[in-house]
Structure formats: structure tokens, C-alpha cells
A = this chain, B = another copy of it.
Amino acid sequence: MLSTVTKSHMAVAQNASGRSLNVPIYTITSGKSGPNVYIQSSIHGSEVQGNVVIFHLIQALKRHGINGNITLVPNCNPVGSNIKAGEYTLGRFDPVNGTNWNRGYYYDEEDVINFAEQVQLSDTIEQIKTRFKAHTLAKIKAKSSRPWGLGLAQQLNLKLQAMASQADIVLDLHNGPVSSRHIYIPEFLAQQAPLFSMPHVILIPNHFAGALDEASFCPWWTLQTLLNDRFTGHYDFNVEAYTLEMGSQEVIDFVDGHHDAQAILAYLQAKKVINTSQYEPASIQRVGVYLSDYKTLFTDFGGMVEYVAKPGEILKEGDTIAKVLNIDDLDNEHATQIISAPCDLIPILHFPSASVLSGTQLYKCFTNYFSIT
């Protein structure tokens, strides 16, 4: 039995003309039980490749039977998508106040601790999951309806999280500036890395810094840790959440998007969301890093930069990573300055403009990386 696709729209904001800004919500199901999957893209307005990935996913999923249901929310931030500043999209933060669009989700560790204390040993996993989802949703709704109101980014985040909080699998599709494909995986799910077709893997701790993946897995990770401590059990809620970085921002590519979608389908197949065996993760080398070893290289001086090291390259300590032109010294030996790799590293992404001020985040790099098999 094939799946059916249902479409609706949700108002997430109003613009200065007083009109509602809507996001499309596609829901796919075959009416069978199974996991709830939530996939969104473009919370950062200039990171658009995920929208093409969702297009290919919907086209493919229509031809399969689904266990459970899949909710796909492309272009989930219509405010961020539509703020132009020059030719580019000023999509990473609210242009009014600088708030990152991906930092206003809800998580309250205290609240999870309180919830955990009320779990009984006799409660089944499913009972706990159902109660905890309802509990979290109620908290999100309460937070959304404060009498003095909420900031735009947080309003948007909470509306999306009301959906994501009910899912067992959450995929948040992003892009880097000029970037390799990479994925953020919570440490407790490290063994899932081979299910994805991402060459670069960042393992992140149980720490909430505001993003959707953290807001989605921290509560469950915390809850199962607390229950395992309390009951010395093996609670595993099978809730997973990942941030996938599908290459560079400001670009959509339908062919790449097809590959990206195939890779996600392989993951969904492994999770029994779709009953197929046709998809396979790419047979690639995977390199991992702990978040604390995923380092940002800032420049100490301003100027015009050639990004010599390309995303994904393997560099040794001292190799040239970037070269800066000094326009006031073009006639002498200070005309160019070399920025070298401070240690062995793999650059994962770099700044998208040649012109930088001092203190610009030039590169993000894997250090102390390791092979994942």
C-alpha cells in the first residue's frame, strides 16, 4: 500500500504589512504504526539545499509504503528566507536584533529531572514516551503564550518544536557557508554514523545550546540516563535527532539533492520507516571528531583572503590554510601573509567572502579526528 501526502500550512509570523507568513507542512503516511519522523529545512534562510532534498524525499516516499508518519517542513523560516541585504540572503539571524534563528528552542533540564522522579518502575517505555511527549508539548505551548509575548525567533522556534517534540526521529537540514557535507550526531547515537552518507561526523555531548537537534535529543538522553541510574535499567527510548549540513549555502543543486535524499532514504529504511531494501548508505570513509575538537580558526587581522585549503582536505600542521593580501604593501615582501594550520586538521567549512575584518571566523576544522567504521 502506497503512502499518501497531505499538505497544510501553518502561520509562523506576521510581516510589517500585517500579513501571515506561512510554512508548508507535508505529512506522509500509509496508515500503519511506526515512528514519527520530523524533517525541516532552511531555518537559516540562506541554507536552501535542504528544500531540494525534501522535494526529492517527497517524490520518492510517495512511491513507498510508510510505517508511522513523516512530517516534512521545507523553508521553515519565511522571515529569514526573505531578508535580502545586497544580492545575498541575510538568513542566519533576525535582521532587527541579531538573534540566531536556530537558538530559541525550549529545553529545561530541571523539568526533565522532575518528570523522571515521577516515573514508576512499572511504567512501560511506550507509556513513558507518550506521557513525556504530552508533557513537553504542554511546556512548549505554555512558553509560547506568555502574557508579555515572545521574540520572533523564539515564537518561530516553538511553533516548529511543537511538531518536532512529538517525533521519534528529527532531521534538521542545514548548510555551511562554503562547506563539505557533514553531520552532528549525539554521542549516545555515535554507532548510527554509518547509516548516513556523510564523510564528516561531529559527535556532540548532552548539552543544550539552543538548536533543534539538541532540544530534541537532550530531553530523552537526560531522561534515559536518569532512569537508568535510578532503576539501574536499560531504558532506551529510540529517539534520535541530527543536524545534517548539506554542503554550501546560497546554492541549490537538484542532482546533489537527489543523492542527499537517497542517503536519507537509506537511513529511514534502516529505521524501518520505509519497507524497502533498495537504498544503501554510501560506501565512503567517515571521519569523526568530538565537538570540543571541532575548532574555529579566527583571523587576527583584516584583509582579502584566498581560502587555499578546501573543505575536506587533510592538512598537516604548518600547511598553508589561507593567504591574505595586504593592499598597502603590494610592492614589498609584506604583500602576502600566510595563515598556517596550527595542528593537523581537516577544514570542514570556510567563510564565504574574500573580504574579512579581524576576528572573522575563517575556518571550522576537525582536529584530533578519528576514523569511523
15 more contacts with CB within 8 A, not counting A45-B355, A86-B90, are: A13-B302, A14-B301, A14-B303, A16-B356, A17-B75, A18-B327, A19-B22, A48-B354, A51-B325, A54-B330, A84-B353, A147-B342, A150-B359, A156-B359, A254-B323
What are 28 A-to-B residue pairs whose CB atoms are below 8 Å?
A14-B302, A14-B358, A16-B302, A18-B302, A45-B355, A52-B304, A55-B336, A58-B330, A59-B335, A62-B331, A75-B327, A81-B355, A82-B82, A84-B355, A85-B90, A86-B88, A86-B95, A87-B96, A88-B353, A98-B99, A148-B297, A149-B297, A149-B300, A152-B360, A153-B359, A154-B359, A250-B352, A252-B325
Decide if A79 is an interface residue (CB 8 Å cutoff). Answer: yes
Chain B nearest CB from A280 CB (Å) reads: 25
Contact partners of A19 in chain B: CB under 8 A: 22, 78, 302, 328
Task: Decide if A358 touches B17 in the complex (CB within 8 Å).
Answer: no
Give how many copies assemble into the complex.
Answer: 4
Contact partners of A147 in chain B: CB under 8 A: 342
Chain B nearest CB from A302 CB (Å) reads: 3
CB neighbors of B among A117-157 (8 A): 147-156
Contact partners of A313 in chain B: CB under 8 A: none
Decide yes or no: A352 and B55 within 8 Å by CB, A18-B301, A18-B326, A24-B330 being known contacts. no
Contact partners of A2 in chain B: CB under 8 A: none
